Structures are given as C-alpha cells and as structure tokens.
Structure 1
Amino acid sequence: MDTSPFVLDLAEITLADVPLVGGKNASLGELHRHLTSAGVRVPHGFAVTAAAYRYALEEAGAWPALEAALAGLDPDDVDDLEARAARARQVVLDAGVPPRLRDEIAPALDRLRRTYGPGLTLAVRSSATAEDLPEASFAGQHASFLDVHEDDLLSSVSQCFASLFTARGVHYRHRHGYDHLSVGLSVGVMKMVRADLASSGVMFTIDTETAHPDVVLISASWGLGENVVQGAVEPDEFYVHKPTYRKGHRAVLQRRLGEKAVRMVTGTPGPHNVATPEEDRRRFCLDDREVLELAGAAIAIEDHYGRPMDIEWAKDGVDGLTYIVQARPETASTRGAATLERYVVEEHGLVLATGRAVGDRVATGRVRVVRSTTELASFRPGEVLVAETTTPDWEPVLGQAAAVVTERGGRTCHAAIVARELGLPAVVGTGDATTALVDGAEVSVSCAEGDTGHVYEGAATVHVDRLDLSDLPRPRTGIMVNLGNPALALRTSMLPNDGVGLARIEFVISEVIKAHPLALLHPERVSDDEERAAITSLIGPAQDGAAHFVGRLAEGVGMIAAAFHPRPVVVRMSDFKTNEYAGLLGGSWFEPHEDNPMIGFRGASRYAHPAYEEGFALECAAMRRVREDMGLTNVVLMLPFVRRLAEADLVLERMAQLGLVRGQDGLQVYAMCEIPNNVVLVDEFAQRFDGFSIGSNDLTQLTLGVDRDSELVAFDYDERDPGVMKMIRLAVEGCRRNGIHSGFCGQAPSDYPEMAEFLVELGIESMSLNPDSVLRTTRIVLDAESRLLAATGTDAGR
C-alpha cells in the first residue's frame, strides 16, 4: 500500500518530489526552501499530492471505468477524443474527495488562514507529475482556479484532479508517449495573489526569439496573468542585462509600452476581461524598482537551476508586493548555428524595372507607391515600398516593408543603408519606378543576381541554399557589424562577429525619439500648433523633452551594447544633415536651409556650435547613462566628419565638460576617417583619438568629387579607384605608425572581394559590415589571410 503523504507544506518540498507533487509544486517548493533568502518571494501554501489523487480513485473504485473511457482512443479523431476525455473527467469528478483526504487538507488550510488572516482567498492550481519538466512542459493543459473561497476548496481540488483528462491534455500525453493512467496529478493551494487589483505576467531568463542568454525579458499587463500567457493582450516589455546586473548596476535596459487593451479581473462569473482605462493603457504597469526586483529574482532562479527559466509572476494589489507563482525550465526551441543563405531565382516574370541591387535577398509583395510622407499612412506591412527616394522619417515604415524600390540614389543612399540594416532587398536608382510599377500589382524584388537589381512581374520561383557555418574559424582581422536598429541587436549579435564597428544613433532618433532634440527642449519655439501638439503628445505626461530624448537614446544604444557585450560597440554620435534634421518633428524651426547639406553643417561641426550645443549635451547625457548607469563600458564613442584639428580639440573639450573624458573609466573616442584632411594630417589626428574608422562612402565621395546620392554620376563612384585606395593605405599606415586602432566601415569589402583582400594585405585591424554580409565576407577574409600567409609567411602590416 502507498504510504506517501496526501498533503505537504510547500516549504517541505524539493525538486526530488516531482513524482509526488508534480513539476509545478516541486519547483515552488524548491524556491521556498532555497531562494527566499535571495529575495525570491513565493506565496505560502501546500500541495495535495498525486498519492491523494490515486487514493481518491481507489477509494471510489474508479480505475476500471477510467481505463474503459480511454481504451481504443484515436487522438486524431477530434470528436472521439472530446467524448472520451469528457467521460474520463466525469469518472474523476464522481470519485470526489474522500473523508481521509478532507481531514488532512483541513489543518493545512488552517495554517494558511493563520498566516494571512481574514479575507484569505486561494489560488488552486494543477501540477501534473509530468509537467514543467525540461523535456516537456505540459503548460496550460490542466485546470487552475483563482480567487477561490475556502468553502469551495474541496470542489476545486476535485475539478483539478479531473482536468488531468482535458482533451488537450490527453492529446499532448499521447503525442509525447506518456501513459494516461500512470501520470498523476497534484494540486497546489496557495494564497491568492491579488493581481486582479494590480498586474502580472511572465519573464524569461533568455531572449525567446534569438536564444540570446544575457537578458531577462519581462512581459507585464494589468490584471491576472492569463492574458499575457495566452497572448490576448499586447503587454509592456522590459529587458534587463544580466552580466551588468550581476556587477551591481541597477538599470532597466529597455522598456516598451504595450497597449494592454483589456485586463482580467475576478468576480462573477469567474475571471473575465474588462476594458483597461485609457490612463492605465498609456502607462507602464511596473515601475523600474519592481522590474529590477523581478529581474533579480529571475537571475537567482536561473543560477539555482543552472539553465534558462520560464517564470510567472504576479503583483498583489493589496500588499503591493511581487510574487513568483511558477518557475519551469524554458523549453522553447533555440536557434541553430549561423548559416550562410544564398537566394537563387529559378523562374520569373517580365522585368518591370532595374537599378542597383542592395543586399542579396529576394522578396515578393504588392506594390505601394508612396510619393510623400503624407501617403505613408496608407502603407501596409508586407508591401513593396516604391518611392522617388526615402529619408529617415520613413524608417518605421521601411521596417515593415517586404522590399524597397527607389527612383533615385546610389548604393550608399539612405534607402540602401537602411535596407541593408533591416535585411531587406532594395533596388535603388531605377529612374522610373513610380511610373513603371502600379499600386496593388504583385512583384518580386531580386537582389540575388549581381550588381543589378530586378523588379519582376508576379511571384518569382526562388530557392534558398543554406551553408552551416557553426565551425567557421575566426580570422585575425576583426569582423564587426554595422547596426542602427536596436530591435535587431540580439539577433545580429548571434552571428560570428567581433563587435559593432558602427552603431548609427540616427535610426533611434528618427524611429523612437522622432522629434528634433531642440524641439523637445523648446517646444514653445515651434510655431505650428499641430507640430507642437504632436511633440507634447510624444513626450507624454512627464512633459520633459530632455528626459524623453536621453531615456530613449540610452535605451536604444544600451540594447545594442548589451547584445554584443563585452565585445566593443562603436557608437557614432549624430550625423544627420540639416535637411534630415529638418525632417524630424519640429526640426524645420531649428535648422538652416543649405544648398549642399552633404558637406554642410553636419557631424562634429555641430557639436560645440551654439546652434546645436544643447542637442549635443543630450546625446552625451545618454551616452553617460549607458556607460555609467547601465554599466556598458564596452561602448566606444566616435565622432563623424571631423574636418580640422581645432574642431577635434573643441569637441573633445566640450565632451569632457559634459562628463565624457577620453581615457577616464576606459572611455575610448574614435573619429571617422572620411575627409582627405583626416588622411593628410593622420599623425596629428592620431594624437587626439584612440582609433580611426575609415568611412569609405564619404572618403570616396570627397576624394573623387562625386555626389554619392546622384545616379547620374554613379558610374564615377568606385571605392577601388587608385586615388581612394591610396588614401586608405595612408590612413591604415598612419594608424599603425601611431599605435591607434584602424578600422574600415563601408560596403566595399562585401561587394568586391578584391577590396577585402587589399585591406587584409594592409593589415587593417577590423572591418565593419552590414549583417547580411558578415558570413560571406568572413570567408573571403579567411581565404585572403591564408593566401597571404602562404605567400609571404607574414600577416602583412601586423
């Protein structure tokens, strides 16, 4: 006869008790016993054991009827499955709760009553003996009951027992090979955490989309947690970086406000959804202190279990405390090894337009011609964006496009740069796309056939060749990535790489911040009522434009820095041109008109200038927050378009005044090498900076005198021109001579293997590439290094 106890206090339970109390209760008991001292708060309670479940069926003589209900089950016959599961549940319900079990539950309930006092209600939750295990979660298969009055406890326990035979539970067990009658069910009885009066949600100690191991992802919504678990609401989301948290830094890495349209509350007829008041939808349901407390609990739980965890939490609206109500191993599939993808077009329709190909992908969608920003609202996700040209204002829409086609621009125009970062195929400089392509027509955009991109009529037939590069060796030359979109940071960081060579903050400013920094500081100087109202709405209830800018920029840069930590992340300070700044919300009131903004008031020339010094101060405040508060000291700052030595001195002095002192706390400051004067005076510039990143786009433009955005002279724009290559050689040699870092930032090594080989021969220390080029170019660099070593026995300039 089984002598196992029928009721156990959670504090008596460990993970070894899974066969007796199931995975959920065993995990809660483990937390009670070992982690309360680490700040993990778990509601008190007890477990009605699986032995009690079996005893109840034995006392009622229910096993034969249960076996008969499931005999001959065909799990793929939905009607038969439902009918048999219903019969099995009724057998268990009819068995009820025998007197001996009632007698053992009573004192455990009395202990809970004494602990929490009058007004106690209960959470009654199923815990199967094959649940919340590393190899099978069974999450959501069985019943739970919330806000249960103690008079209804026994009925709820019986219904939990019966829920072992929900149709979904029966089907899940059959698929995983579990015997229905050998699986037992325990019931957890705990104090009800009144999340219906506050908030609740889930958190993972790994990024669920990319399997990045260094973050805690917390999802939160008002009310009971079922809405978050089932995906019924768009929750708030918070990221916390584990390595810096462990070092003592307490900062939320990134937060995203969810819509939270409904909240689940208790009451008649049980838990149900009500509309969330507008003021609650517009605010986060956790403050930073609560987020960090939850993250600390998650890290402690992961450390104890030694594996990524999936955790449910709830905040009590009565006592204001957050509780862990479930913890199980994270069982979502993780991403495999990095692969190299090659798109091959097998069949296609008529050629409707051609231009320069950007990226190496193929996409199909319906055409949406957009002639101005006023038409962006009509764009729908998955369409092919067709335009004369694009600006940073369009970047949120670009992120939703299947592909991009423009009439103007070259390989390094805005549309091309952003499309590469987003992993989209783009055909630029077509000359006639807005007339050649018709709204609503299905087209395929191919950038997988060389330098020329094609827009084909209809859906092309395409296959993708994938090469596993999990064992790809690392070259001596650093292979870094260009990245501006924080949403892509975790995914991109999983590629084989040596850090971020160019983090463009313009993407964060245009997509997340959206307004000109000076318009945020001085909305009263924006004379247009509609624009001023939009700025006020953007800032939100705090009405603090500086906090909006600094907070959002710090979060964007912080996410990129955290994703690649501890590898270096080179963050370029803002390099909008005046026409691009003017395109930001409120920007036209603060920017002058320039006939040639490409070589106008941009880059370092703005930073200490009275017309923008307040804006630069905000940028510096954000960078200090990333490095000091978030602890992400892998951030290297980089100044773009530094024309003269005096300008460099002025900006570095201004940065020091703003708390960013080169050399202090390991801060390195690089400069873009993109102006011929940077090369001519390389020795002098090298005394002021810790490294040069050779920007081939502008260096080629200014060396050859070619407008890189003009398709009319695109044939004259070539990084392989002997003059440009000599400039690059002089820059690399100057960096080596002065002992500072030399990097290359541009598309040329990806587009032209001979350029990658040239850089390897020079001894360049790193190349920074767009993510879609990293794996392919790594192969090229490895081959070049191997040939060089075989031919000379040396690593060139190293």
Structure 2
Amino acid sequence: MDKLYWLDQIKLQDRAKVGDKAFYLSRIMQRGYPVVPGFVVGAEVLQEFLETLNSSESLVADLPHSSLHLDVANWRQLQQVAGRLRQEIITATVPSPWVGKILTAAREWESNYLILRPTVMVSNSTQAVGNISGLLESVFCLCNEEAIALGLKRAWSQLFRARSLLYWQRLGTNLQQVNLAVLVQPIRNAIASGLFNANTSGWEIAATWGLEVAIANGEVLPDVYYIQPETGKLIEQQLGSKILAYRVDNTAAKDDLQSLPQSELALDNTCLVAYLLEETQQKQYALPENFLQQVIVLGNQLVNELGKKFYIKWTISQESVTPKLYLTQVSAPQSAIPHLQIIKGLGAARGRVTATAYVITANSSSKPEQLPQEVILVARTIKPDWLPLLQKIVGIITEQGGLTSHAAILARELGIPAVVSATDVTALIQSGDRLLVDGDRGEVSRMKEHIASEGIPQKWSARENSQLNHSHSSLPSLSPNSNSWQPIAPLSDLTRPQTVIATQLLLNLSQTSLIEQLQDLPVDGVGLLRSELMTLTILDGKHPNSWLADGRQAELLERWTEQIMQFARGFAPRPVLYRSLDWRSHELPSFPNVVQPSPKSVLGERGIFSYLVNPAVFELELAALAAVQKAGYSNIQLLLPFVRSVEEFSLCRQKVEQAGLTQVPQFQLWIMAEVPSVLFLLPEYVKAGVAGISIGTNDLTQLLLGVDREQEQLARRFNELHPAVMGAIAQLIQMSKDAGIPCAICGQAPALYPEIIDRLVQWGITAISVEPEAVERTYQAIARAEQRLILEAARRQIKGG
C-alpha cells in the first residue's frame, strides 16, 4: 500500500482508485462545503491483498482475472462459492504496515470510532451501474489495529456476497472491472441524521435521531419535510415513527441489546449500539429548526453545483462545544456531477463565471488584435495596453502575476472574475474548453459541455446591489474649502439601515464606462483615478509621445480633458484624486518610439522622475486638468506617483503652478506614499506644499521587503501583513496627523486583507479607497471598527468616572 488518498487532495486522475462515492465527495469538499474529513484506502490495495491469498487451494487464485464462471441460476453453488470467498478474506491477515499507516492517519481525528464506507468505480462499463448501496454497506469499528484490520476485510468481502456476484454477472460486468476502495472517516455521535432528496418536482428532507443507521436499516419511519425549491420555504412536515436510534459506544455489550431489533452490522460491532428513545423524544421532530434552515441553505447551494436532481446524506455531529452540520454522502446523475479538472491559482477578483476559453499561448507575447465576446481569456500575462480588449470578456486566467498585478487590478475594477498565478494554465487548457473560473477560491475547473451552459457572466453592477443603491448626498465628503475631511449629513436614504461612518470610503477607478453604474454607491469620491489605465482607451494603441511627434497634441488634449471631465462631472461635488501617469515602460512593448530599460528592470522610470526626463506628456496632463477646472469643476485634485525626493516634488509643483491649477482655491496637490523615503521626509514634503498623502501598499510592500509584486511565489509569503509594512503604515498615519494633513490608503491591502481595517481606523486613517467590488464589505468593516472604538472609549470614560 503506497499511499492514502485524502478527500481534500483527491485529483481527477485518482477517480478509478478512490471510487465514485469518495471522488464526488472530494469534489464537493474541495469546493468548500462542510464534509466530514476522510481518506481512501485505494482500490489497488484490495488487489494487492487478494494476491497475497493466491494459492493452489484458494478460490481467489483466479481473481480478479475471471468471474469464477458461476452459474448464477444455481443458488446452492452461488451461496457456497460466495461463503467460501468471504471466509478466505475474513480469516486472512492484512499486512501490519498497512494497518499501521491507516491507524496513524486516523488518529489525527482524535476519534475513538471509524466508519469504513465502500466506494466503487466500474471501469470500461457501457451500462449504468445504478444504486449499489444495498450491495455494499458501511462498516463501523473502533480506532485500533485489530478492529481496523477486521473492518477492512469485512468491507472488501462484501464484493463477494452472493447477491453482489449475482448483480455484477447479470449486469454483464466482470469483477476485474469493479474497483473497490474504502473511504475511512471518523464517526461521532449525532444529534440527528438524515437524507436530502432534490428533484424537479420538489425537495424532501428525512430526519431521525442519532446516526443514519436506523434509516438505512429501515427500522424507523423518519420525519419528512417538504420544501419548495424556488423559495426554500417549508411547505409541509410530517412526524415520523422513531422508536430507536443508534450511537457509538465501545463500552456496550451485546447482551444489553437483546430486546431491541438489531441489524447484522450492530451485532457484529460492539461499538455500534441501538437504544430506545424516550416517549417524549419519539413525539418530537428530530431536526431542530435552526439546522433545518442550514440543510435547506446547503441544498440550495448544491443545486448550483449538481443540478436540480441529487441526493445527499447529512449529519449533525454532537461536537463537544457546538453541534455542526456535515455532509457524509453525495449522489447525483453522472451528467450533473462536475467531472472537473481543478487548476489552483490565486483568486484575484471575486465572482464565478462559466464560459468558453480563449487561450493565448505562452510563446505569444504580442497583443491580440481582437477577442471573441463573452469568453474567458487565458494568457501567460496581461499587459496594460490590452485593456480595450478586456471590455468584451467575462473571465481572466493568467500564469504569471500576483494579487497586485495589472491583470488583477483590471479584473477587480471591471468586475471580471479572475485567477492569477495558475501554473502552466496555457498548456493545460485549450481554446474552446468550457471553464468555470472561481475568483473566490482561486480555482479553474474544466467542465463537460453539458454542465457549462448554466454560467452567467457576473459583471459587477451597483444597481444589482440594492443595499448600496442610494444617493451619495447623505454621505461624508471632502470639504472643498479645507484640507480636512469632514462628515456631513447622516445616512438616511439607504434601502436598509446602515451605520454612519466618519472614515472616508473612496473608489479606485480608471474606466469611464463604469461611472454611471458606480456614481450612486455610498462613497465619498474617487480616491485613485489611474490615469495610465484611463488613457489606454483614448491613445489608439500609441504612446503619447507618438501623438506629440505626429503633431496631434491638440487632439490628444481634447480627448484627455473629456475623459477627466467625465469623472469630475459624475462624482461632483465629491473629490476625484487624479494620479498622473505612472507607467513602467517595459510593460508596454507595443508602444513604439519609447526608450526601453533593461528587460530585467522591475521598476523602470517610475513616477515623477520620468516627468523631469520627458516633461512634454506631464505638461499635457496638467493642461487637461486646467481645462477641466476652466469648465467649472473644482473637485479634481492631483496625486503625484512614486515620489523619491523633496527636490523632485518641488520641480513638479512649479510646473503645476505654471499650469495655473493652484489658482483654484479648492485644488490640492497630494503625493503617493509608496517609496520608503517618505517615511523619513514627510515633514519636509509638507513644508514644500504637499496637501495630503495616499499610501500605496502595493509598491510600499515590494520596496520595503525587496519583493517584486509580479513574482507570485515571493508575493504570497511577503505581503502587506508583514510587520514592517504595517509598522510603516502606522508611522505614515501618525506623521500625517502630526503634520495636520489627511492620509488615505489606496493600495490593495484593505480589500485583500480586510482584517487590517480595524487597525487602520484605530490608527486614524482618513480615507480608504478600494475597487468597486469591495465597497460593501469595506463599508461594513469600517462601521464595525468605528463602533468598537466608540464602545472602548465609552467604557474607559465610565471606568474613569
């Protein structure tokens, strides 16, 4: 026995070794459903065991290479052969290393009892096998070597029962086609157990007290609940006839059970005990109301996984502290079971979508001319200049890049489910494959054609989230006449009650196409307008330098101005913090006439240094901002990226003044706090005219920790939660408070790691800016954090009084 197959690690290629029951259960478990943990003793182990029995006198000497040439019409012969086969198996010895390996694994659960569930796959079968639960029954045993060895043999021997041999022969299936494995799971006493049967006509839930054995043996008439599938509402419930129940108890003796109807399984296992229910308990429904609702919710979720027709077994485990609901078995028509190949990556943008793959092979680095609509784009990496193409697609998968890569950022803003860092995905997937992209779990699943038709592209839309669809006029906003952030009227027009928050909630945006959808969100403005992504939609695939060289400066200025003005108009009077261009030129190879840095350069000519080297494009940006101001919009502020020194900032400020932007009293000039030198120079920046800072956690993290954000293996381990990064953020917030300027945060950290919002609020962050998809959960996280601070302050005041 080479290995055990753990449910949470079983792969598609393991299916024949673990059997269908364990395989389907593993698929569901790996998708996050509550499944009792377990591992599988593979089908190859039974073959090895039978080979140890082979001798000239053994009936199993011909197995599994024959079907024993039985005349199944001759019942006497069938019974004799089956009895002798089973006797040979039961009296044989299971190698002690096998039993030791199973016992060691089982002890991880700290359970005294195990259940061994036969799980079968029939290979090369042209005929449906059907339900074989009556042929192969679960075996209960104690968690010790002797009991495990006997339990294994009892599970295996069921393949050679008379009725089993009869079934396989009449089905036309040779025994060598039957792969029998054993699923081993811990078993704990249950409050209640039962079945959930879903079909097109309705849902039925059956429940009884204790373990599921009473229903399987037909010894009780369970309680039945009839559920309306469309609404999940209880239509009718019928109290069953439940006289006895089962539990596990290794202290019980058989003599204690003589007055009760016992199954063969109970008589053979002293750990499984049947007991009479109290009369009051017999008259009660076994499934508590709160767990009834949990079963209904679970069934509703499984409809999305398995279709409208399936069958599950569930149990409410009697845990030491809190009872929990678990799945113990999942059955469905094979057409409904997701026969998937799951490829793991990083979930970069939330949501799930099913569609056809369009693969750009790994050896292709050029931008595709066009993409089909409503496809899932699979590529080695996605460069910023691909943005116009992404408007047509419904999902993104990349081999490279981390959670702060351009592909991830673009996907989150556009509301496209995305998985990044999926190793070798361009080789594993072909164009035309039907895929399920799960951005929540970071999984890509290749699906059968008939399963995939249910997928609906999940584009993010504020208007589909009624809890967020309300006027912004009642929200906190940045006072246009002050450098301070002030809350105004309370939240009175929400569709459901919300808590007033004092911390500003802002949006990270770049696409004008989203303004109409997002302008009514409960946000205080745009905290990060990414100009480099915004302009890609107007540059027609050319670098701004090309426009200037061709004498088309006026045309480009008009386009640029109109783009910025749409944001100013859409969110007025709320502020829009426009971040000037922050391209890394090596990311844009399709733009001609641009001096390329070393291909190994991580940073390139980042930020305002490039403005000083090539001022023409920056001056064009400033002219566009001045034109927006002249059109009457005073809510546009300027955010300078990647500032390395006070001298650089001062030179840029001179250009800002020359453009006339500072003549508007409401105008503010901010800087990104992402280069670690800001930690030492912030007071000097404030003296030089910085009105506020916005912490860019993506670059601050990679520069503090020496981690390229595109190197996913490093980025997984060294992220924004590192104490050095959190310490730097805390220091920047405190320094801003000391200097009397606002401090926002616009990197991905609050959205990727919402647990840090508590600390940000406690430290005194002024504003948090996130992608649209993270608005609701960030709003709620801010509200909770502020409430905790208020409560703590009140408690301190009471104690002090």
1:511 aligns with 2:537: yes
Corresponding residue number in structure 1 for 2:667 = 667
Letter aligned with residue 619 of structure 2: A
Looking at structure 2, the residues matched to 358 and 707 of structure 1 have their Cα atoms a distance apart, in angstroms, of: 17
* Cα gap change, 1:466 to 1:654, in 2 (>3 Å): closer
State how 1:416-435 maps to structure 2 within 5 Å. 416-435=408-427
SS across alignment from 2:677? helix
Looking at structure 2, the residues matched to 666 and 795 of structure 1 have their Cα atoms a distance apart, in angstroms, of: 39
SS across alignment from 1:594? coil
Matching residue within 605, 617, 621 for 1:615: 617
* Cα gap change, 1:495 to 1:664, in 2 (>3 Å): closer
State how 1:487-636 maps to structure 2 within 5 Å. 487-514=513-540, 515-523=542-550, 544-584=551-591, 586=592, 589-609=593-613, 612-628=614-630, 630-636=631-637
Matching residue within 336, 341, 345 for 1:351: 341
Any conservation in 2 of the 1:608–1:654 contact (CA below 8 Å)? no
Q: Shift of residue 769 of structure 1? A: 0.2
Q: Shift of residue 779 of structure 1? A: 0.7
Looking at structure 2, the residues matched to 583 and 620 of structure 1 have their Cα atoms a distance apart, in angstroms, of: 25
Letter aligned with residue 435 of structure 1: A
Any conservation in 2 of the 1:643–1:675 contact (CA below 8 Å)? yes
Looking at structure 2, the residues matched to 495 and 456 of structure 1 have their Cα atoms a distance apart, in angstroms, of: 35
* Cα gap change, 1:349 to 1:632, in 2 (>3 Å): farther
1:479 aligns with 2:486: no
Looking at structure 1, the residues matched to 642 and 370 of structure 2 have their Cα atoms a distance apart, in angstroms, of: 37
Looking at structure 2, the residues matched to 360 and 433 of structure 1 have their Cα atoms a distance apart, in angstroms, of: 19
State how 1:278-357 maps to structure 2 within 5 Å. 346-347=305-306, 348-357=338-347
Looking at structure 1, the residues matched to 767 and 559 of structure 2 have their Cα atoms a distance apart, in angstroms, of: 29
Looking at structure 1, the residues matched to 716 and 762 of structure 2 have their Cα atoms a distance apart, in angstroms, of: 27
Q: Shift of residue 360 of structure 1? A: 1.7
SS across alignment from 2:769? strand
Looking at structure 2, the residues matched to 510 and 795 of structure 1 have their Cα atoms a distance apart, in angstroms, of: 53
Looking at structure 2, the residues matched to 567 and 466 of structure 1 have their Cα atoms a distance apart, in angstroms, of: 22
Any conservation in 1 of the 2:367–2:386 contact (CA below 8 Å)? no
Q: Shift of residue 456 of structure 1? A: 4.0
Q: Shift of residue 423 of structure 1? A: 0.6
Q: Shift of residue 741 of structure 1? A: 1.0
**Residue ranges of structure 2 left out of the alignment (5+ in a row):** 1-299, 307-337, 459-463, 469-494
Q: Shift of residue 377 of structure 1? A: 2.9
1:368 aligns with 2:345: no
Any conservation in 1 of the 2:433–2:446 contact (CA below 8 Å)? no
Any conservation in 2 of the 1:788–1:795 contact (CA below 8 Å)? no
Looking at structure 2, the residues matched to 596 and 685 of structure 1 have their Cα atoms a distance apart, in angstroms, of: 31
Any conservation in 2 of the 1:343–1:448 contact (CA below 8 Å)? no
Corresponding residue number in structure 2 for 1:235 = none
Looking at structure 1, the residues matched to 301 and 530 of structure 2 have their Cα atoms a distance apart, in angstroms, of: 28
Aligned length: 426
State how 1:717-756 maps to structure 2 within 5 Å. 717-756=718-757
Corresponding residue number in structure 2 for 1:62 = none
Letter aligned with residue 617 of structure 1: E
Corresponding residue number in structure 2 for 1:767 = 768
**Residue ranges of structure 1 left out of the alignment (5+ in a row):** 1-341, 524-543
SS across alignment from 2:516? helix
Looking at structure 2, the residues matched to 556 and 404 of structure 1 have their Cα atoms a distance apart, in angstroms, of: 26
Q: Deviations over 1:666-710 (max 9, x none)?
A: 210110000110112121122221100000000011111100001
Letter aligned with residue 406 of structure 2: H
Q: Deviations over 1:533-589 (max 9, x none)?
A: xxxxxxxxxxx51122211111111111211110000000000112135433x3xx1
* Cα gap change, 1:378 to 1:669, in 2 (>3 Å): closer
* Cα gap change, 1:724 to 1:343, in 2 (>3 Å): farther
SS across alignment from 2:527? strand
Looking at structure 2, the residues matched to 604 and 403 of structure 1 have their Cα atoms a distance apart, in angstroms, of: 34
Looking at structure 1, the residues matched to 619 and 301 of structure 2 have their Cα atoms a distance apart, in angstroms, of: 45
1:444 aligns with 2:471: no
Any conservation in 2 of the 1:343–1:361 contact (CA below 8 Å)? no
Q: Deviations over 1:402-434 (max 9, x none)?
A: 100000000000100111110101100112110
Letter aligned with residue 353 of structure 2: A
Looking at structure 2, the residues matched to 647 and 432 of structure 1 have their Cα atoms a distance apart, in angstroms, of: 42
Letter aligned with residue 587 of structure 2: E
Matching residue within 394, 406, 410 for 2:398: 406
Matching residue within 378, 387, 412 for 1:395: 387
Determine what percentage of the aligned residue pairs are the same residue: 33
* Cα gap change, 1:729 to 1:374, in 2 (>3 Å): closer
Q: Deviations over 1:726-768 (max 9, x none)?
A: 1001100111111111000122212223211111111101000
Letter aligned with residue 501 of structure 1: G
Letter aligned with residue 433 of structure 2: A
State how 1:271-282 maps to structure 2 within 5 Å. none
Letter aligned with residue 680 of structure 1: F
Q: Shift of residue 467 of structure 1? A: 7.0
Corresponding residue number in structure 1 for 2:679 = 679
Looking at structure 1, the residues matched to 576 and 444 of structure 2 have their Cα atoms a distance apart, in angstroms, of: 35
Q: Shift of residue 665 of structure 1? A: 3.4
SS across alignment from 1:366? strand
SS across alignment from 1:386? strand
Structure with the greater alpha carbon radius of gyration: 2
Any conservation in 2 of the 1:498–1:568 contact (CA below 8 Å)? yes
Corresponding residue number in structure 2 for 1:641 = 642
State how 1:119-134 maps to structure 2 within 5 Å. none
Any conservation in 1 of the 2:383–2:588 contact (CA below 8 Å)? no
Q: Shift of residue 343 of structure 1? A: 9.8
Q: Shift of residue 716 of structure 1? A: 2.7
Any conservation in 2 of the 1:706–1:716 contact (CA below 8 Å)? no
Deviating beyond 6 angstroms after TM superposition, the runs of 4 or more aligned structure 1 residues are 461-467
Looking at structure 2, the residues matched to 519 and 789 of structure 1 have their Cα atoms a distance apart, in angstroms, of: 55
Aligned-residue CA RMSD (Å) = 2.5
Q: Shift of residue 381 of structure 1? A: 0.9
Any conservation in 2 of the 1:505–1:553 contact (CA below 8 Å)? no
